[in-house]
Amino acid sequence: MARPADLQRAAAGRLRETGVASPEYDAAELLAHVLGTSRASLALVGHVDDAAAARYDALVARRADREPLQHLTGTAAFRYVELAVGPGVFVPRPETELLAGWAVDAAAAVAAAGRTPVVVDLCTGSGAIAASVAHEVPAADVHAVELSEDALEWARRNLSGSGVDLRAGDLATAFEDLLGGVDVVVCNPPYVPLEAWESVAREARDHDPHLALFSGDDGLDAIRVLAGRGADLLRPGGVIGVEHADVQGEAAPAVFAAAGRWEEVRDHRDLADRPRYLTARRVGR
């Protein structure tokens, strides 16, 4: 038998030594997962039996080898929804919650004007953004598309019962039936430059699908496609939100500004004050 605090302390030290960014948090989350409780309730646990301690040690070893925490617990919290995640799908990041919040607000504004907002989530991955919009704006007509078959299976699981129209397809050609009729397009596309391979965190580089990470030599290939396809999908005056790398705070908006089909092109910063996503409005009213 062991005390939870002792197990957590040892685990956090082990994770810190291997470069895990949030060792105390991860150690607590893994122990809560093993014990079937929450981090907040760990203080109520008196002792951990040997079998549970062994399971915990095995998970900590995998996390120390930089397997994503969410793969070990099988879930990822995102705004007000909980998503099932694992090998084959991009693990949603907290930074993307800001983009999802923008999409929620944009859809809600359309609903407040008395229309049913039509929202398209391109490169949906786990379905995180689509699930959030559907959950927070029940009146919205939400559509999502994913190219990867593996990721699509996770999205199907996460969007089951949500009312979201989920399809298999490419962001460049999806939703021919919606052309010119969409109010909000939102996308967290691949945007890592191929040359940045070595700088990508091991959790992402070794476990996230490369289709969701890399996008040409400068990381802007998918964003260039979005500048065209987004305008095709949106009704005049419709809006788009696109996540990008923190080093693309000027380059990504410049792609949209140069396309000639957008106005009000703006960039937005995340909670760490880093450039994180752009928004733009389709020319015309």
C-beta separation of 165 from 146 below 8 A: no
For residue 145, what pLDDT is reported? 98
Torsion of CA 83, 274, 39, 18, to 10 degrees: 100
For residue 197, what pLDDT is reported? 53
Question: Does 108 share its domain with 46?
Answer: no
CATH number of the domain bearing residue 48? 1.10.8
C-beta separation of 92 from 114 below 8 A: no
Question: Does 178 share its domain with 99?
Answer: yes
For residue 23, what pLDDT is reported? 94
Question: Does 119 share its domain with 221?
Answer: yes
Residue at 71 is within a domain: no
pTM above 0.85? yes
Question: Does 51 share its domain with 147?
Answer: no
Residue at 267 is within a domain: yes
> How many whole angstroms separate alpha carbon 244 and alpha carbon 221?
11
Q: pLDDT by residue for the chain (285 residues), tens digit each?
A: 788 888 889 999 999 999 898 999 999 999 999 898 888 888 778 788 888 889 999 999 999 988 889 889 999 999 999 999 999 898 998 999 999 999 999 999 999 999 999 999 999 999 999 999 999 999 999 999 999 999 999 999 999 999 999 999 999 999 999 999 999 999 999 876 766 555 556 666 665 666 565 556 788 989 999 999 999 999 999 999 999 988 899 999 999 999 999 999 999 999 899 999 999 999 986
267: domain range? 81-282
Strands (E), the chain: 75-78, 81-84, 118-122, 141-146, 165-168, 182-187, 234-243, 262-269, 275-282
> How many whole angstroms separate alpha carbon 200 and alpha carbon 196?
7
CATH number of the domain bearing residue 253? 3.40.50.150
For residue 151, what pLDDT is reported? 93
Number of domains in the chain: 2
Point out the domain boundary residue: 24, 40, 65: 65
